[in-house]
Amino acid sequence: MSDSSAIAQGAVAEAGTPHGEHPPYQRHHFESMDQQADATNFAMWLFLVTEVMFFGGMFTAYLIYRNWYYPAFVSASHQLSIVWGTTNTAVLITSSFTMAMGVWCAETRRKSGLVLSLVLTLLLGLVFLGIKSIEYHEKWEKHHVPGLHYSMEAFLNPASDPAVFKEYHDKPMALDMARHTELYFFLYFAMTGMHALHMIVGMAILIYIIFRARAGAYTSGHVTFVENFGLYWHFVDIIWIFLYPLLYLISRHQ
Amino acid sequence: MSSTIVSLPDQSTARIPKTNFLTKENGLLSWLLTGDHKRIAILYLISITFFFFIGGALAGLIRLELLTPQSDLMATDTYNKVFTMHGVIMIFLFLVPSVPATLGNFLIPMMLGAKDLALPKINLLSWYLYVVGGCLVIYTMVAGGVDTGWTFTTPLSTHYVNTNVMSTGMAVFIAGFSSIFTGLNFIVTIHKMRCPGMTWFRMPLFVWAHYAASILMVLGTPVLAITIVLMALERTVGIGVFDPTKGGDPLLFQHLFWFYSHPAVYIMILPGMGVISETISTFSRKRVFGYTAVAFSSVAIAIFGFFVWAHHMFIMGISNYAVLVFSLLTMLVAVPSAIKIFNWAFTLYKGSITFETPMLYSFGFMGLFTIGGMTGVFLGASGTDIHLTETYFIVAHFHFVMVGGMLMAFLAGIHFWWPKMTGRMYPEKISQMAAVITFVGFNLTFFPQFILGTLGMPRRYAAYPPEFQVLNVFSTAGATILGVGYLMPVLYLTWSLKYGAIAGNNPWQATGLEWQTQSPPLTENFTRIPIMDHEAYDYEWLEQQQAKEVASVG
Amino acid sequence: MSDLKEIEEAQHHVVSPKIYAIIAIALLVLTATTAGVSYLELGEFNAVVALAIAVFKAMLVVLFFMHVKYSTKLTKFTVVAAIFMLMGLISMTMADYMSRAWGRW
C-alpha cells in the first residue's frame, strides 16, 4: 500500500534494462543460467517419464496377451528376422553413441565435431528406419499386416513358409489359436510403429539442430538444448532395447 | 461472527496501480502470444468458464428430461448424447484444468516468489492445446454428438455406436497433453524456482496440493493417451486389442482407462483441497493445524490414488482376488483425505473465524466433500458396490465430490483471489447469498439421488419407473436453484471489474507471498525477488510487518 | 550447501569420450550376447536372460549416456519414480489376469 510508488518505480527500472547482464539465451524469469539449465533438464526428464507411461500401456497389453495366447505369440514371433533385429539394435546403439559424442563436442565447444556427430546420428537413424521398412515390407508381402488381407496360412500350415519352417519346425496350430497371431502382429506394428514415429520426430528436430549447430549456436556455452535432445534420443534407444528381446528373441526356442 | 477481517484502503484516494500485468501491453496479440503465467491464467479462466456453462446447460437438459418418468423432452438417443457431452466437457474441459490452470497458474509462481513458471512457452502451448481440444468437442456437438458415455467403454465405443467417437477421442487426447504440460510445468517450477528461504516446508499448502496433483497428471495422463489411441485404432482399423472376437479383452481397456481416470479424480480434487487450506487458515487467523501432515497427505493421496483404479470394475468380471486387494487399497485412500478434513477442523478450533464468501464456500466444501468421501467408502466396499454401482447412488457420490467438493473449492478460490487478480473486491453481501443459494441448490439436487440410488434407479436412462418421480422432481428443482447460484457469480464478478471497491495489496490480511505485492501484480510479480524468512501462515510475522510499515510511514 | 555443490557438479560434469566408447562397445557386445543366447536352448530362462540383459543395457544407457550417474538425486529419483509407476501399472493389471483363473482348475 505505502510502497506502491516504489513498486511502480521498480517496474520502470526493470523495464529499462531488458537484458541486464545475463547472456542473450537466458530467459528473463530465471535468476541464473544454472537455474535455467537445471529447470529445462528436469522438465525433459519429466517428459520422458510421461513417455515411459505412454509406452507402458502397450507393454502391458503385450505381456498380457503373450501370456494368454502363448503358442500364437511364439509362432508369430518366429516370423521376425533375428538378424535384422540385431542389426537394427546395433545401429541404434551406435547412433546413441554418436549422439553422446555430439553432446560432448558441444560441451567442449568443438563445432565441426558436433556437426559431424549429429549428421552421423541422423544417418544411423535413417539406416534404422530403412531396415525397419524392409521388415515391414516383408510382412506386407506375406500378408502379415493385420486387417482385411491378413493371412493365417503360415500358422495353420507352417510348411507353406519353408524358410521359417526349416529353422523352427513349428507344428500346425488350430484355427482358434492361429487367429490370435493377428493380435501379435498388431502389437508388433503398434509398438515398433510408435517407436518409429518417435524416431521420425526426433530426426526432424535433429535436422533443425544440425542447421543451428553449423551456425555455431551450441558451441558457445549454451548446450542445454543439445543435451536435452540427447536425452530424448537415448530414451528412444532404450525403448528399442526392450522391444528387441520382447518381440524378436524370447520366443525363439519356445 | 459479526466482525470481518477485510481491510480495504481508503476508497477516496486509492487507485489501481497504473503498471500491472493487465495494462503492460494492449491488443489481442499481446494476450494470444503472452508468456505471462497470469495472463495465461486469465485466458484459461475465460475458456473454462465458457465450457462450464455449456456443460451446465447440458446438465440442465438432463434434469429437465428426468422431470417426468417418460422420455418426452428428447429421444433416448439424444439423452445419451447429452449426458455424454456433459461428462466429457465437465471432466476434461472443466474439472481437470479448473483450479490448476487458472488459480494454480496465476498463483504458484507468486507463492514461490518466482517471476514466472519455469516454461512459459510450454504453458502457453498447453492453453492452445486446451483450445484445440475444446474446439473439437464443439465440433462433435455440432456434428451430431457422441453417445458412449465419457468413459468410451469398449466394445460400445469401438463396435456399436455410429457417432463421433473419433473427434471426441482426439479432443480428449489433445486436452490430455494440455494437462500433462501444465503438470510438468508445475513440478519443474516447484522444484527449481523457489525464492531464497522458500524451503519445502515453508511452501503454502496450495502449492503442495498442486505438486501432488501434478505428479498424477504427469504419470497418469500418458496412459489415457495411449488408451485413446488404441481405442481409435480398434474403431478405425479393427486391430483387435479390445475386441473379444479377435481375442482381445475389453477389460484391458477398462484397466488402462481407469489407471488414468481414477487418479484423474484426485487431479480434480487435490487442487481444491489446496484452496481450502489457504482459505481456512486465512479466515480463522491461524496456521493450518498439522501443516506437515496436510502436506504429506496430499502426496499420500497421489501415491495411493494410483493403486485403486480397479474399484471402477468390481462388477465387470475382474478376479475376486483383485477385487479384494483393490477394495482394501481403496479404503486406505480415505485415510489421508480424513487427515485433511480433521486438520482443517482443528484449524478452525479456537480460531477467530469470520464468514466472508470464500469461507462460506469452504464450509460448503468441507461438509459436502465429507459426505461424498464417506459414500465413496460404501462404494469401495465390494459388497455394497455390487448393489449400488450403476445406480444414481454413484451419480450422487461423484457429484458430491466433484461439484460439492471441487466446484465449491473453485468458487472459494476465485472469490478469495479475485481482488489479487483484478485489484477489485467483489460485492460481499450478494456473493454470500450466492454461496448459500449454491449450497442449498446443490443439496436439493443431489441428496435425493442418494435415495434414488439405494432404491435402485439406474443411471444413464432417459426414462424411469413412475414411483421415482417425486425425488426426481426435487432434484430438478434443486438444479434450477443451483443454476441461479452459478449464474450469480458471473454477473457480479463481471460487474466488479469496473465498479468493485479497490482492494489494495492485501484485503484479507493473508500471509502468502502473493499478498505482499500490489494487486493486480506486475508482470514480473515482484519488484525484487522476495526472501522468505518466516514459516507459512505466520500471522505474527504479518502483524510485525504491518506495524513496521505504519511506523515507517508515520 | 552440499546440495548446491552437487548441482554445480551435475551441470559441469563432462563425461569423457573414452567412457562413451567403452559403454558403446559394452552395449554392442551385450547385443551380440543376447542374440547368441537366444539360439541356446534354455527353456524358460531364455526370456529371463534376454530381459536381464535388456535391463542391464538400459541401465548402462541411462547411467552413462544420459548422465544419470553424475546427476542430482532429483534426476535419479525421477527415473526411479518412472520405473516404479510402470511396474505398478504392469503388475497390478497382471495381478487381475493371473488371479482370474484361480480356483477354477
pLDDT tens profile A69-113 = 999 999 999 999 999 999 999 999 999 999 999 999 998 989 999
Q: Which residues contact C44 (CB under 8 A, 6 or more apart)?
A: none
**What is d(CA B197, CA B217) in angstroms, rounded to the nearest whole number?**
28
CB atoms within 10 A of CB B23: 12
Structure-model confidence comparison of residues B531 and A27, the more confident one: B531
pLDDT, tens digit, 9 for 90 and up, residues B438-482: 999 999 999 999 999 999 999 999 999 999 999 999 999 999 999
pLDDT of the residue at A11: 39
In b/e form, how buried is each residue of A24-56, taking b as 16+ CB within 10 angstroms?
eebbebbeebbbbbbbbbbbbbbbbbbbbbbbb
- Burial class from Cβ neighbours inside 10 Å (0-12, 13-18, 19+) for residue C28 reads middle
Nearest to B392 by CA among B77, B66, B73, B72: B66
A57/B223 touch (CB, cutoff 8 Å), yes or no: yes
Q: Does C57 touch chain A (CB under 8 A)?
A: yes
Evaluate if residue A1 carries a pLDDT over 80.
Answer: no
Nearest to B306 among C88, C95, C98 (CB): C88
- Contact between B405 and B272 (Cβ < 8 Å): yes
* Pure H helices in B89-204: 98-99, 105-112, 120-142, 165-192
Classify the C-alpha dihedral A151-A157-A162-A166 as positive or negative.
Answer: positive
Nearest to B148 by CA among B128, B129, B168, B122: B168
Please state which of the ranges A177-191, B6-20, C22-36 shows the lowest mean pLDDT. B6-20
Q: What is the DSSP letter of B287?
A: P
Q: Does B192 touch chain C (CB under 8 A)?
A: no
- Contact between B264 and B96 (Cβ < 8 Å): yes
Domain that holds residue C30: 2-71
Q: Which residues contact B445 (CB under 8 A, 6 or more apart)?
A: B63, B399, B475, B476, B478, B479, B481, B482
Joined together, the cell numbers standing for residue B429 give 453481501
Interface size between B and C, measured as CB pairs under 8 A: 36
* Pure H helices in B285-356: 291-305, 320-348
Determine the residue among A5, A7, A38 to mutate to test chain B binding: the one whose Cβ has the most chain B Cβ atoms within 10 Å.
Answer: A7
Nearest to B157 by CA among B242, B246, B264, B239: B242
Nearest to C50 among A67, A108, A245 (CB): A245
Instruction: Read off φ and ψ for residue B458, nearest 5 degrees.
Output: -75, 150
The average pLDDT across A208-227 equals 90
Å from B275 to nearest chain A CA? Answer: 25
Joined together, the cell numbers standing for residue A41 give 533438464
Q: At what angle do helices B392-399 and B357-380 cross, to 10 degrees?
A: 140
**Confidence class of residue B549 from pLDDT cuts 50, 70 and 90?**
confident
pLDDT of the residue at C11: 52
pLDDT of the residue at C6: 46
Are C65 and C78 in the same domain? no
- Contact between B237 and A147 (Cβ < 8 Å): yes
Are C55 and C98 in the same domain? no
Structure-model confidence comparison of residues A19 and B71, the more confident one: B71
Are C64 and C43 in the same domain? yes
Evaluate if residue B550 carries a pLDDT over 80.
Answer: no
Question: For A96-109, what is the HEC assignment?
Answer: HHHHHHHHHHHHCC
Are C51 and C96 in the same domain? no
Are C64 and C39 in the same domain? yes
**What is d(CA B406, CA B393) in angstroms, rounded to the nearest whole number?**
19
Residue of chain C minimizing CA distance to A254: C43
**Confidence class of residue C104 from pLDDT cuts 50, 70 and 90?**
low
Q: Does A48 touch chain B (CB under 8 A)?
A: no
Are C56 and C102 in the same domain? no
- Contact between B183 and B101 (Cβ < 8 Å): no
pLDDT of the residue at A24: 72
pLDDT, tens digit, 9 for 90 and up, residues C35-91: 999 988 888 888 999 999 999 999 999 999 999 999 999 999 999 999 999 999 999
Nearest to A144 by CA among A88, A183, A177: A183
Q: What are the residue boundaries of the structural domains of chain B, listed by start?
A: 30-553
pLDDT of the residue at C9: 45
Q: Does C30 touch chain A (CB under 8 A)?
A: no
**Confidence class of residue A200 from pLDDT cuts 50, 70 and 90?**
very high
pLDDT of the residue at B554: 52
Strand partners, B502: B424
C93/B318 touch (CB, cutoff 8 Å), yes or no: no
pLDDT, tens digit, 9 for 90 and up, residues A24-65: 777 778 888 888 888 999 999 999 999 999 999 999 999 999
Cα B159 to Cα B232, B236, B253, B357: the distances in Å are 11, 10, 14, 49
Evaluate if residue B77 carries a pLDDT over 60.
Answer: yes
Please state which of the ranges B376-385, B417-426, C8-17 shows the lowest mean pLDDT. C8-17
**What is d(CA B255, CA B269) in angstroms, rounded to the nearest whole number?**
22
Residue of chain B minimizing CA distance to A32: B193
Instruction: Read off φ and ψ for residue B522, nearest 5 degrees.
Output: -70, 165
pLDDT, tens digit, 9 for 90 and up, residues A114-126: 999 999 999 999 9
Are C47 and C89 in the same domain? no
Cα B501 to Cα A8, A94, A162, B510: the distances in Å are 21, 66, 86, 18
pLDDT of the residue at B482: 95
Residue of chain A minimizing CA distance to B196: A31
- Contact between B214 and B184 (Cβ < 8 Å): yes
Residues in chain A within 8 Å Cβ distance of B223: 53-54, 56-57
Structure-model confidence comparison of residues B59 and C9, the more confident one: B59
* Pure H helices in B311-407: 320-348, 357-380, 382-388, 392-399
**What is d(CA B138, CA B458) in angstroms, rounded to the nearest whole number?**
28
**What is d(CA B285, CA B511) in angstroms, rounded to the nearest whole number?**
10
Are C87 and C58 in the same domain? no
**Confidence class of residue B74 from pLDDT cuts 50, 70 and 90?**
very high
Report the domain count for chain C: 2
Are C16 and C38 in the same domain? yes
Nearest to A64 among C24, C62, C97 (CB): C97
Are C29 and C66 in the same domain? yes
How much is the ipTM here? 0.92
**What is d(CA C33, CA B368) in angstroms, rounded to the nearest whole number?**
61
Evaluate if residue C2 carries a pLDDT over 70.
Answer: no
Q: Does C39 touch chain A (CB under 8 A)?
A: yes
Q: Does B306 touch chain C (CB under 8 A)?
A: yes
**What is d(CA C80, CA B429) in angstroms, rounded to the nearest whole number?**
52
pLDDT of the residue at A106: 92
* Pure H helices in C2-72: 2-12, 17-37, 45-60
| The residue type at B243 | D
Are C50 and C32 in the same domain? yes
**Confidence class of residue A22 from pLDDT cuts 50, 70 and 90?**
low
Nearest to A11 among B19, B117, B180 (CB): B19
**What is d(CA A206, CA A12) in angstroms, rounded to the nearest whole number?**
41
CATH topology of domain A51-249: Four Helix Bundle (Hemerythrin (Met), subunit A) (1.20.120)
Cα B553 to Cα B73, B217, B314, B550: the distances in Å are 66, 47, 66, 5
pTM: 0.93
Strand partners, B391: B458
Mean pLDDT of chain B, nearest integer: 93
Does domain B30-553 match CATH 3.40.50.1980?
A: no
Joined together, the cell numbers standing for residue A74 give 511364439
Half-sphere exposure of A21 (CA within 13 A, CB side): 1
Are C19 and C66 in the same domain? yes
Q: Which residues contact B195 (CB under 8 A, 6 or more apart)?
A: B112, B113, B114, B513, B529, B530, B531, B532
Evaluate if residue A9 carries a pLDDT over 50.
Answer: no
Residues in chain C within 8 Å Cβ distance of A238: 58, 61-62
**Confidence class of residue B150 from pLDDT cuts 50, 70 and 90?**
very high
